[in-house]
Amino acid sequence: MKVLVICGSFPPIRCGVGDYANVLYNNMAEKVDVTVLTSKDAKVMNSSNLKVINSIDKWKGLSLIKAILKEIKKGKYDLVHFQFPTSEYVESSIMLFIILPLILRLKGIKVVYTIHEYSNNRWISKVLRKPAIYCSNSIIVVEDAFKGDIIKRNKLINKKKINIIHIGANVPKSTKSNEEIVSLRNKILSDKHTGIERIVGYFGFINVAKRMDVILQAFAELKNENKLRTLLLIIGEFNSEKCPQELFDELKNIVIQNGLEDYIYVTGYVEDREVGDYFMASDVALLLFKNGVSVRNGSMLAAKQEGKKIITTRPTSNFDYFDNEQFVLIENEVEMVKSEILRIQDNEQEKFNQGNDDPWDAIVQKHLDIYNQLVKKQ
């Protein structure tokens, strides 16, 4: 079987969907012939079974359509799998969401379409996706609620072609020994306020989808009340790369005006293999989401697989998934975050079984089942 994957972002381009696709298709390439067509800034990995073609400069215009159709004809692929959205799909809606799906359908090409964001998108985004949704032979959604929402907004759709496949953690588990983790923890705490006893870990971009403002305000108020004995460990960079400048300036002001510098440790960019190490060095994970925690949140999955208690925002769907002692579900409110930090400071934190409910081998097999079913119908 030959599969062409169209994914705008791929490492080292920073994008959660690109990271997901990287893990998924590197695992899948051991079983089938997979080629990823992606942006020029992506890296071609010659040591992998996975073929990566980084030839797309801009994801718009007729030149894009021609380039994709040329590769499909050249490679003689059995099916084409689209990953939506990615950070590189700038001004791409007309071509990628409307014209291309129609062309592929008319040519009789089997199409799989994965939707990573839907229910919280603007109405115009949902409208623009209709051609791709109707023209695809199979649709994969990464969150259960997306399926119901798609059916509701696309009355004529064949419900049987919508498949739910949750994502897996985009970063590997920590392989460090207990001694190495203790050493890392001591390093983090070494040059900070001497009264700090606990570490809460945060992983992910700083952006409008995360409520870092609530977290920082809670830390500020506890410090000003002389009650703060906890360090905020930001695993990654504290910058405005994915954040509107106005919001980022607000976050910086909270830090500076309240003297939180000694209560925050920013790792800077770290390799994927190091993320788990920093979560292991933390007492708990503190991850707030504007629209509630979701099964598709990679930062949540990274903390979950390290067996850490996770303080996070109450979900809007998949309630059963979060109905266990590993999760502390709260609202995005400063007082609630403060209460949880105080609880962390006064109690030893329970450790949970390491692992996630959706290992990558199972995720790969679910994709292959869909591929095989479509190819057999040819």
CB 4 within 8 A of CB 35: yes
DSSP 350: P
| Domain edges within the chain | 2-168+359-376, 178-346
**Confidence at 95, pLDDT banded by 50, 70, 90:** confident
Q: Which element (helix H / strand E) includes 54?
A: strand 51-56
CB 304 within 8 A of CB 356: yes
**Confidence at 357, pLDDT banded by 50, 70, 90:** low
85 cis-preceded (ω within 30 degrees of 0) = yes
Q: How far apart (Å, rounded) are the C-alpha atoms in residues 34 and 116?
A: 20
Residue ranges in the chain assigned as alpha helix (H)? 16-28, 62-75, 93, 100-106, 123-128, 130-135, 144-153, 178-190, 212-224, 245-257, 272-280, 298-304, 334-346, 360-376
**Confidence at 337, pLDDT banded by 50, 70, 90:** very high
Among 147-151, 214-218, 317-321, the minimum mean pLDDT is found in: 317-321
Judged against a pLDDT cut of 80, whether residue 2 lies above it is answered with: yes
Burial class (CB in 10 A: 0-12, 13-18, 19+), 175: exposed
What are the two backbone dihedrals, phi and then psi, of residue 326, each rounded to the nearest 5 degrees?
-70, -25
Summary mean pLDDT of the chain: 92
pLDDT tens track for 30-52: 899 999 999 999 988 766 789 99
Record the tokens describing residue 92, joined without a space. 């791409």
DSSP 14: -
Q: How far apart (Å, rounded) are the C-alpha atoms in residues 14 and 36?
A: 16
Structure-token match 């897996």, residue found: 168
Q: Is the pTM of this model over 0.85?
A: yes
pLDDT tens track for 105-142: 888 999 999 999 998 888 988 888 899 999 999 999 99
Tell me the torsion sign for CA atoms 199, 205, 210, 211. positive
Largest CA distance in the chain: 69
pLDDT (average), residues 67-74: 94
Judged against a pLDDT cut of 90, whether residue 62 lies above it is answered with: no
pLDDT tens track for 168-208: 988 999 999 999 999 999 999 987 767 898 999 999 999 99
* Complete DSSP assignment for 89-140: -TT-HIIIIIIHHHHHHHTT--EEEEES--TTS-HHHHHHTHHHHHH-SEEE
Judged against a pLDDT cut of 80, whether residue 85 lies above it is answered with: yes
Architecture of domain 178-346: 3-Layer(aba) Sandwich (3.40)
Architecture of domain 2-168+359-376: 3-Layer(aba) Sandwich (3.40)
Query: What percent of the chain shows pLDDT beyond 90?
Result: 76
